């Protein structure tokens, strides 16, 4: 819940989803607060984030662009669904609002849950790793075997490198257990590592035409199509890199 803020939120879990019930006011001052809350919820990788607006006052319809902004950020690297439940007070938004072109809009939370249906075509797997330098060695065969099982062998070498650098970064700086996640969607492989350290990560811009670095996050940026990080609502952060199927 947002303390000392005109915007408040309550979080709950149901059927593998995170439900965010909002109250108070969405205005220019709270736009960024809401954006960050929803991004943190998505970083915990639930099945979906369902946002209930029934008790929320929205001072102008254009502020609903916050949901499009969140969807655009999430869709870069994850298949977590974002569903908005406007409620009777904002019923017009569900029919005419611009967010409907990007975000799923449903009349009730139960309807939102029912709309999820089967997950989108994707493959996803996780590996929990201890806070140890040896975790880098454990990550490599996991990534190689996964790429083989998913018939994307050409992506194995860059994926192993990226996973190793992200796991090593977590072990060195976060000093906490980490969760390595691989997700394949539409020919793109996301390599993500979550840890318990919420401090920001400075990620170089991906794809720069410079000599290939030998190690570290610069090497990740060199190999990746896109990179990013986000705090998690449950604490800590997640750092991710997206590789295209053509990577080699």
As a whole number, mean pLDDT of residues 60-81 equals: 88
Report residue 230 as tokens.
């986000």
Percent of the chain with pLDDT over 90: 51
| Cα-trace Rg, the chain | 19
Residues 247/186/119/198 CA torsion (nearest 10 deg): 40
User: Which is it for strands 188-195 and 178-185: parallel, antiparallel or unpaired?
Assistant: antiparallel
Q: Are 247 and 155 spatial neighbours (Cβ–Cβ below 8 Å)? A: yes
Residue 247 pLDDT exceeds 50: no
Dist CA 35 CA 11 (whole Å): 15
- Sign, CA torsion 224/225/229/234: negative
pLDDT of residue 44: 93
Question: Tens of pLDDT along 162-210?
Answer: 999 999 988 888 788 899 999 998 788 999 999 999 888 888 877 655 5
DSSP at 60 = -
pLDDT of residue 248: 41
Q: Which residues lie closer than 8 Å to 26 by C-beta, 6 or more apart?
A: 7, 34, 56, 57, 58, 59, 63, 66
As a whole number, mean pLDDT of residues 40-59 equals: 94
As a whole number, mean pLDDT of residues 42-59 equals: 94
65-74, 110-119, 123-132, 181-190: the lowest-pLDDT one:
110-119
Residue 135: pLDDT band with limits 50, 70, 90? confident
Question: Tens of pLDDT along 226-246?
Answer: 999 999 998 999 999 999 875
Report residue 233 as tokens.
């609502």
As a whole number, mean pLDDT of residues 91-111 equals: 77
pLDDT of residue 209: 55
Dist CA 53 CA 58 (whole Å): 9
Residue 91 pLDDT exceeds 80: no
User: Which is it for strands 237-244 and 226-231: parallel, antiparallel or unpaired?
Assistant: antiparallel
């Amino acid at each position: 819940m947002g303390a000392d803020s005109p915007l408040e939120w309550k979080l709950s879990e149901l059927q593998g989803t995170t439900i965010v019930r909002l109250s108070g006011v969405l205005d220019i001052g709270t736009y960024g607060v809401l954006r960050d809350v929803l991004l943190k919820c998505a970083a915990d990788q639930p099945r979906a984030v369902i946002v209930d607006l029934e008790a929320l006052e929205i001072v102008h319809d254009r502020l609903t662009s916050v949901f499009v902004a969140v969807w655009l950020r999430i869709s870069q690297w994850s298949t977590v669904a974002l569903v908005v439940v406007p409620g009777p007070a904002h019923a017009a938004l569900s029919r005419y609002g611009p967010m409907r072109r990007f975000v799923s809009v449903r009349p009730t939370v139960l309807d939102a849950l029912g709309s999820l249906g089967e997950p989108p075509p994707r493959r996803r797997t996780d590996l929990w790793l201890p806070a140890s330098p040896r975790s880098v060695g454990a990550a490599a065969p996991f990534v190689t075997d996964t790429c083989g099982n998913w018939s994307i062998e050409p992506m194995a070498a860059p994926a192993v490198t990226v996973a190793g650098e992200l796991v090593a970064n977590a072990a060195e700086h976060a000093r906490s257990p980490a969760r390595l996640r691989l997700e394949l969607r539409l020919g793109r492989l996301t390599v993500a590592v979550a840890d318990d350290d919420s401090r920001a990560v400075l990620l170089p811009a991906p794809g720069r035409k410079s000599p290939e670095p030998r190690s570290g996050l610069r090497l990740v940026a060199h190999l990746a199509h896109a990179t990013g990080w986000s705090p998690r609502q449950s604490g800590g952060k997640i750092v991710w890199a997206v590789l295209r199927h053509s990577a080699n």
